[in-house]
Amino acid sequence: MQKILFFLVLLIGVTAMGQKNGHITGQVLDSQMNGEPLLFANITLKNSSFETQSNFHGNFELANIESGDYTLIITALGYERIEVPVKIEAGKTLRIAREMKPLSITTTGIVVTASAEENSAESKERIYFNSRQ
C-alpha cells in the first residue's frame, strides 16, 4: 500500500512539474503558392535559445518554454521576416499559423547586345564539304 501511495505522489509531482512550461506549435505557409507549406523556415524565440525549422509539411514545434511574453521570429530565404508577439502560459500549447510573402527583387535595366558575322563563300563550301564525309 505504501509503494502504491509513493508512486501516486511521485506521478502527481512529475505531472505538476511538467505543467510549469508551455509549448508552441504551428505551420508556415507560402502566401503566393495558395497556402502551400513552406519547408525549412527558421523559427526562433527572440532573446532565447529556442529555435527550430519547419518540416516538409511546414509544421514546427517549440517545447518546454518557460511562461512569459516572447517574440516569435519566422524567417526563410527569399521571404519577408515575420515577428509575432506571443504569451506562453504554463501547461498550454499555443497554435500559430502564418503565411510568408516572397521578397520582391528589383533590378536596374539589363542590356543585351549581340553581333554576327556573315560567312564567306569559302567557309560555306568547307562546311558543305565536311558535312558529306
Q: Is the pLDDT of residue 40 over 80?
A: yes
- pLDDT of 89 reads 96
Second CATH level (architecture) for the domain 2-100 = Sandwich (2.60)
Q: How far apart are CA 52 and CA 54, in angstroms?
A: 7
Confidence of residue 19 (pLDDT cuts 50, 70, 90): low
Local confidence band at 113 (pLDDT 50, 70, 90 cut-offs): confident
DSSP codes joined into one string, the chain: -HHHHHHHHHHHHHHHHHTTEEEEEEEEEETTTTTEE-TT-EEEETTSS-EEE--TTSEEEEEEEESEEEEEEEE-TTB--EEEEEEE-TT-EEEEEEEEPBPP-------------PPPHHHHHHHHHHHT-
pLDDT of residue 104: 85
Residue 13 has what pLDDT? Answer: 54
Domain ranges of the chain: 2-100
Whether residue 128 is predicted with pLDDT greater than 60 in this model: the reply is no
Q: What is the pLDDT of residues 55-110, one digit of tens each?
A: 999 999 999 999 999 999 999 999 999 999 999 999 999 999 999 999 988 878 77
For the residues 4-13, what does the mean pLDDT come to? Answer: 52
Does 48 score more than 90 pLDDT? Answer: yes
Q: Which three cell numbers stand for residue 80?
A: 519577408
Nine-digit cell string for 101:
510573402
